[in-house]
Amino acid sequence: MHSADSHDVIRVVGARENNLKDVDLEIPKRRLTVFTGVSGSGKSSLVFGTIAAESRRLIDETYSTFVQGFMPNLPRPEVDALEGLTTAILVDQERLGANPRSTLGTVTDANAMLRSLFSRLGQPYIGGPTAFSFNIPTAKASGVFTTATGEKKIVKDAVYLGGMCAECEGRGTVSDLDLSVIIDESKSLTEGAILVPGYTADGWMVATFIESGFFDPAKPIREYSEKERHDLLYKQTTKIKAKGINVTYDGLIPKLRKSMFSKDVDSLQPHIKAFVERAAVFKTCPECGGTRLNESARSSKINGLSIADVCAMQVTDAAEWLRGIEAPGVAPLVAGLLHLLDSFVDIGLGYLSLDRPSGTLSGGEAQRTKMVRHLGSALTDVTYVFDEPTVGLHPHDIERMNTLLLELRDKGNTVLVVEHKPETIAIADHVVDLGPGAGSAGGMVCFEGTVEDLRAADTLTGRHLGYRARLKDDVRTPSGRLEIRGANRHNLRDVDVDVPLGVLCVVTGVAGSGKSSLIHGSLPGDAGVVSVDQAAIKGSRRSNPATYTGLLEPIRKAFAKANGVKPALFSANSEGACPTCKGAGVIVTELGFMDTVSTPCEDCGGKRFQAAVLELRLGGLNIAEVLDLPVAEAQAFFAEGEAATPAAAAILARLADVGLGYLKLGQPLNTLSGGERQRIKLAMHLGERGGIYVLDEPTTGLHLADVENLLRLLDQLVDAGKSVIVIEHHQAVMAHADWIIDLGPGAGHDGGQVVFEGTPADLVAARSTLTGQHLAEYVGS
C-alpha cells in the first residue's frame, strides 16, 4: 500500500470543548458516521465545535493576512491534537436570512439562471438579465459618459433597465395600518378612543389632540366629518398651542409611523411589539400582484409564461415547463437549471416555489435547500457535517434523505451526521454514542462501533434503539370540537375538519402537505391559544436560561430583600457587573491578524460580578453560586427554607418537567444544543394561561429516551384539562395520540386534503395512507 493511502482515520485526542471530558476518538474516513446520545451530551461540541471548527480555522489560515482581517476570527478548539482532517462543509439547521428580498430562487441561484434564459429567449425582447431582477430598479441618467480610453460622450436620458416594481420596491407587499386596532370609533377622545399603548385619555400624548381645536374631543370618532377625521389621523406637522404651551401637532398615523412603525420590531418593548404586530397589516402589492416585478419584466414570455409565472409554479411543474424548451443556443443553461430543479425534487422540496420568501422556510427545509448545492458537486474527499438532516421529515421522506447521504459517501466523502432517528442510525457504517447523561453528566464516549453492536450495548441509546411506543388501549373522549371550515391557505383545498378538544390530537402528513398552514392559519389567534413554533431562540454570551425564562427577576428581588439593597446589583448586565470585564466573565484580546484570545477575567475569576456583590448571600449562597446550580438543585433550594421563592420555584419546576434538570442556570445560551433551546422555549410557554396548546414538532433534537418524557409531559397537560394539538412526524407521538388528522396524499398541490381522521388504531388497521403504512410498520402490527 502506498504511504499516502494510510491516512484513513480522523484522529481526535483530548477534546475538552464545552462539556467534553478529554475525548479520544478515531473516525473512519470515506464512511458514514452517526453521532448519537441524549440532548446536551456533547455531540455538537465534538462534531461542530471541535472537528468542523478546526478544519475551517486551518483553511482560513491559508488566506493572506490582509484577507483574514475581513474574516471572523475563530478561536482554536479546546483539544490536544487533531489529525487527518479534510475540508469540512457544514450543513446546519440555521434558518436562511429573513431579508424580505431573499427568495428560494435567489438563495439557490435559480433566479440568476432564469433571468439569463428570459433575456435570451423572451418575446418581446426587453433587455439583459438585469431587466428581470426585482432587486434592481429602472434608472434614467443624463450627463457626461467617459470611456476607459478617456473619450467623453454626452448622454441624455439613458435608460438602465431593472425589473423592480416601483410601487412595492421589489418586496411584493405593501404595508397598511389596521385602524380598528388603533382607534375605537364608538368612543370619544376623552373616553379613550385611542387604543395605542401609552395614549391614555388623561395623558400628555392625547392632550395634544384634545387641545388642538381641530375637532370636538367629546364627540365619538364615527361622527367626525371628513375634514375632522383627516385632521385627527393624517394632518401634516403644524404648530398649535396646548395648555398655553407651543407644541408641534402631527396626525396620529404619521406620529405612530415615526415613533413605532419605522423601528425594528424586535427592538421594541414586548407590549408595544405586540401592538405593532396587530396593527401593521401587509397586503399584496396592487401594482405587481405580489410578483415583485414591473410591467415590462412581466410582458416578456417564453412558451406563454413570464418569469413571474415560472417562479410562482411549484418546482416540479417548473421543471416540466423547462423540459419543453428546445433551443440549442441555451442548451447548457437549460441543462444546468434543470439539474438544480431536479435536485429539489430528489431531496423532497419539489412542492416549494421559487418565489417563496427564504425567511418562511422551516429549519428542515432550510437545511435541505443548502444540501441542494452539494448534490451535484464535483468535490470528493470532503467531510460533510450534518445536524439532524431528518428534522421536519415524514418517515416516507427519511428514506429519500438516507439515499442522498449514502450517495455523498459513495462519491468518496466522509459524512458525519448528528442524529436521533433510528431510521438514519440504521444506515451508519460507524456509530459514536456520547453520554451517559447530559451537561456535566455527559461528554464521554460510551460506545463506538457498528449499529449491530450498538443494539447489544448497554447504553441509553442501545437500549432505546429497538424501542417502540405501543398504541393506547383506551383513548380519551373529546370534551368539544374546534370547527375549521373552508381552509384554503397556501395549498389547502377548502378543508373542513373538526379538531377535538380536551385530548392529545396529532396532525401529521408528508413534508409540505399543509399541516402548519391548517393549524397556524386556521386557529383563532386569541389569548386562549398558546403556540410553540420552531423559531430558534436567539442568545448571546450574556443571556442564559435564568435571563431568558425570566427566572432571574424573582431571584434578584429575593437577594435584594434579604440584604436590604436594590435588585440591580444582582445583574451582571447592570450595576452588579465586574467593572473590568463589564460582566462578561472573560477578557477578549484582539491580536491583529492572529487569533482573538478569550481569557477568564482575573478580577472576578469569570464569575461576572463585583467582589462586594459576591459577599451578599441568600440561604448561604451568593448570586454567582446560585447561577452555577443545576436546575434540579436550584428547584430544591428555592422551594423551602430561608431562600424560599415561589415564583422562582414555579419556573424551575417547568424547566425540570421538560427534562432540563441538569442545565446550569448561568450557562450561556449560545452553548446550548438545538434540542435544549427548543425545550427551554416549551418550558416558558407552559407557564402561559391558555386552554389550547399548539406544539410544532416538539421532538426536534430529542433523544429516543427524552421522547418518553415529552409524552409524559403532554399527558400531564391533557389531564390538567388542556387541549394539546401537536404537528409531528415522530411515530412514537402518533402512536400515543388520542386522535390523528393526516394530510396529504402528497406535498404541494398534490396535498392539502385530509386523507384520514380518527384514532391511531384505526389508521394502522386501514393502512390507507403513507402515514398509516409507516405507523403500522413502526408498532409492528
**Nearest partner of 455 among 776, 421, 447, judged by Cα:** 447
What angle (nearest 5°) sits at the alpha carbon of residue 423, between those of residues 451 and 693? 130
pLDDT of residue 533: 77
**Nearest partner of 399 among 428, 372, 374, 424, judged by Cα:** 424
> How would you class 497 by CB atoms within 10 Å of its CB: exposed for 0-12, middle for 13-18, buried for 19 or more?
middle
Please list the rounded mean pLDDT of every run of 10 residues in the chain (781 residues).
89 95 97 94 94 94 89 86 95 75 91 97 95 93 86 85 91 86 92 91 87 91 93 90 85 87 70 85 89 96 97 96 95 96 91 89 81 84 93 87 93 96 96 92 96 94 88 93 90 93 95 88 75 74 89 95 94 92 86 68 92 95 95 94 93 91 89 78 84 89 86 92 94 96 91 95 94 92 50
Q: Provide the residue type at 222 as one letter.
A: R
301/124 Cα distance (integer angstroms): 7
662/656 Cα distance (integer angstroms): 8
CA neighbours within 13 Å on the CB side: how many for 115? 21
668/545 Cα distance (integer angstroms): 8
501/593 Cα distance (integer angstroms): 61
Element (H, E) at 548: helix 545-548
pLDDT of residue 202: 86
Other Cβ atoms less than 10 A from the Cβ of 777: the count is 13
126 near 299, Cβ under 8 Å? yes
40/21 Cα distance (integer angstroms): 13
Rg over alpha carbons for the chain, rounded to the nearest Å, is: 30
Residues 6+ apart with CB under 8 A from 384: 88, 89, 91, 374, 408, 413, 414, 415, 416
Q: Would you put residue 752 in left (φ > 0), alpha (ψ -120 to 50) or beta? A: left
644/290 Cα distance (integer angstroms): 57
Residue 720, C-alpha cell as written in the block: 390538567
| Residue bearing cell 411506543 | 469
Angle of helix 646-657 versus helix 631-639 axis, rounded to 10: 150
> How would you class 225 by CB atoms within 10 Å of its CB: exposed for 0-12, middle for 13-18, buried for 19 or more?
exposed
pLDDT of residue 677: 80
**Nearest partner of 203 among 189, 215, 224, 213, judged by Cα:** 189
Residue 736, C-alpha cell as written in the block: 400515543
Question: Which segments of 355-415 does DSSP mark as H helices, in order?
Answer: 363-375, 395-410
pLDDT of residue 26: 97
pLDDT of residue 266: 62
Q: Provide the residue type at 494 as one letter.
A: D
**176 phi/psi in degrees, rounded to 5:** -140, 165
pTM of whole model > 0.85? no
pLDDT of residue 194: 93
136/118 Cα distance (integer angstroms): 16
Q: Provide the residue type at 286 as one letter.
A: P
pLDDT of residue 592: 60
What angle (nearest 5°) sits at the alpha carbon of residue 270, between those of residues 608 and 666? 20
**519 phi/psi in degrees, rounded to 5:** -80, -55
pLDDT of residue 670: 79
Q: Are strands 9-15 and 529-532 parallel, antiparallel or unpaired?
A: unpaired
587/596 Cα distance (integer angstroms): 10
Element (H, E) at 307: helix 307-312
Residue 556, C-alpha cell as written in the block: 434578584
**574 phi/psi in degrees, rounded to 5:** -135, -135
**Nearest partner of 84 among 21, 25, 146, 172, judged by Cα:** 25
Q: Provide the residue type at 571 as one letter.
A: S
| Residue bearing cell 434538570 | 661
Question: Which segments of 473-514 does DSSP mark as H helices, in order?
Answer: none
Residue 229, C-alpha cell as written in the block: 377625521
pLDDT of residue 317: 96
> How would you class 589 by CB atoms within 10 Å of its CB: exposed for 0-12, middle for 13-18, buried for 19 or more?
exposed
515/508 Cα distance (integer angstroms): 7
Q: Please give the DSSP secondary-structure letter assigned to residue 514.
A: S
Residue 742, C-alpha cell as written in the block: 393526516
142/652 Cα distance (integer angstroms): 67
| Residue bearing cell 448622454 | 155
231/227 Cα distance (integer angstroms): 6
Cα dihedral 28, 34, 40, 41, rounded to 10, equals -50
123/125 Cα distance (integer angstroms): 5
pLDDT of residue 134: 95
Residues 6+ apart with CB under 8 A from 654: 683, 684, 686, 687
pLDDT of residue 245: 84
311/343 Cα distance (integer angstroms): 16
164 near 288, Cβ under 8 Å? no
Name the 3-class secondary structure at 285: coil
* E strand residue ranges, 554-627: 586-589, 597-600
